[in-house]
Structure 1
Amino acid sequence: MDLRLEMTQARCSDLAATSSFYRLVYSEIEECGWERLIWLSDDLSCLSFRIMDKKKRGHILEIRLDKSYPSCPPSIAADVPHIFNLKWSTNSRLKDVLRQFSEHLEKLQGFWDSLENIDKCLSVVGLEQQSHANSYRQINIGNDCCLILNIDANDPRSLPECRFMGSDHLVNSFRNKWRRNNKKWSKDQPLSVNLAIILETRLPGPRDAERDDQKFECGICYAQFLPTDEGFGDKSGCRTDYTCENANCGRAFHSICVGEWLQSITTTRRSYDFLFGNCPYCSEPVSVRINTKCE
């Protein structure tokens, strides 16, 4: 168990001695597994778990608890196209929420498989901004024209809703082909193949991009960009700008988030303008320059 989880568990253990609510939440987190917990509020009323589906996609499930829990069911939010109806009774526990969420993820595997086929085979606009909750894709189809698809999460291989963008002449041509050929759509074919058949053209492939230019969500705040705020100084609105040097981890972060994280850890060392500690994911050594936001 890494230092972050040890400290969280120790804090929960202390709280568990003070109230029945804390004791209940503490015991239920243990049932779920501390290694799956990625965030916990100070009053234990809000928790976030990372759940892996069978294709090894990571999903974040946020659970909010009322003080009357478990008499009152928790509220849930997640990075999925639609949330599931939580089945709850006074005998239910957090592990039941995670189980139902995992079952919901399994029902969405075909949806994400279809989107990944599009992302792998076609030129998708704004791909780096997509999340597991998005059911649409904007696809470059050539000649400055785009096709916007909205995939049905419950029937992802069916004919999707579509909208064309571009010059009227070219867009009208694509629309006519779509209306003329949409009966050729086959659920047995990948989405990328169906699109090529209906539009009677070879669609552009993915845009080439260097791995070093790829930007990922911050492993601490789970956003790609910092908020636009004067408090962040010259980092206001910036992308993730720090990466764990461990080749087996490689998580991206905002340097400001890393600084705030390290300052919350009692084992962090400070030397001149730098903080030294451990990556919150792999526990490998990390260091970051202190800035005004971290002070």
Structure 2
Amino acid sequence: MNAARTIYDGYITIHNQFYRFYMVLKAANSTKNCKVLVDRALMALFKSEAEVSDIMSQYTTQHFSPGVFLTELIKILESKWLPQKNLPKTPKFYSKLLEELTEIGWDNIVTDVNSTLDPENLQVSLRDSNKRGHVIEVHIPPSYPDQPPTCKSMTPSPLEIQWNPTSSRLSHIISQYTIFFEQFQDFWKNLEDIDQNTCILDPINPTRADTKRRIAIKQHASVLIVISPEYPFSIPECRFLGSPSLIGPIRENMTKNIHLWNPNELTRKNLEVILQLQFPAPIQKDTLEIDMDCGICYSATSEEEQLPDMFCNGKNCNK
């Protein structure tokens, strides 16, 4: 979801299967005249495009909140079709699946020694060109290969799988991910440098899908940065958090020195030059002084997405 709450991009779950869903609203919190796109696997559940239009028009011609729309849509779809796990699977299905898993390599299939392998819900490990380990979650539908697998991985944006029912195989998906991961190499390199050399306040446990970092500058002052996966060495979106007396001079340095930004340098090093400071080294979050009795201070370190838009005037706080 974007900041304006007009774009929703993600997955919906129908009978424990994930389907890609993309919705663009004309106005925030209203589905009237919105644009909806769904992936091919979800479209395959409908008898025709007319049926899709009939269902969608119930909600896109009136004012509904996105939450209500998605909840009702899922109810309609789940009541309309039986769970695919109840559909019969033929020996040919398993024979083909085992053949393709062998092609991928059993060493690349993530297994738990305490559980049996579920051939329809797989985790495939893959290393990119910089030896980073990735795990791809692969769900195999009963109608495979007529219906493509549903896949997920920790990336800033999802991969749109290219699939041909007559010729595509699981190994082709792995090849697509191999190429897909390469476009994020500079993005991950940039964030790894930040994680290794600064004190990260949020997120607590960042993943390779996260584009944001809130970095400590000094006691009671921090900066929230958003790095573009497409242009990782460009100037990031920056939001300084703290009292005006603390962050005022830092903002001034940002404005005064922005022309010094070097697109061939890491974001952390660029920010240290422009802000004329050195970020504190990584420390454990529980060593930070956080006033849990102050709603403003607590919300700045909570797991909520929304950060405070005011600072605390407490003498012992001043955040």
Indicate whether 1:148 and 2:220 are aligned. no
Indicate whether 1:99 and 2:171 are aligned. no
Q: 1:67 to 1:142 in 2, by over 3 A?
A: same
1:22 to 74, 89, 94: 94
Q: 1:54 to 1:42 in 2, by over 3 A?
A: closer
Unaligned runs of 5+ in 2: 1-88, 286-319
| 8 Å CA contact 1:81, 1:134 repeated in 2 | yes
Aligned to 2:127: 52
Unaligned runs of 5+ in 1: 1-16, 210-295
Deviation at 1:183, TM superposition (A): 2.6
Q: What pairs with 1:1-295 in structure 2 (closer than 5 Å)? A: 19-39=91-111, 44-90=119-165, 91-126=167-202, 129-207=205-283
Deviation at 1:120, TM superposition (A): 2.3
CA distance in 1, matches of 2:95, 2:102: 11
**TM-score when normalising by structure 2:** 0.56
CA distance in 2, matches of 1:31, 1:160: 42
CA RMSD between the two structures: 2.3
1:146 aligned counterpart, secondary structure? strand
CA distance in 2, matches of 1:39, 1:153: 31
Aligned to 1:279: none
18-27 or 89-98: bigger deviation: 18-27
Q: Deviations over 1:35-75 (max 9, x none)?
A: 11114986632211111112221111011122111111111
Amino acid at match of 1:203: F
CA distance in 2, matches of 1:130, 1:189: 22
Amino acid at match of 2:133: G
Deviation at 1:86, TM superposition (A): 1.2
Amino acid at match of 1:113: K
CA distance in 2, matches of 1:203, 1:43: 46
| 8 Å CA contact 1:119, 1:127 repeated in 2 | no
1:177 aligned counterpart, secondary structure? helix
Aligned to 1:12: none
Aligned length: 193
| 8 Å CA contact 2:198, 2:279 repeated in 1 | yes
**TM-score when normalising by structure 1:** 0.61
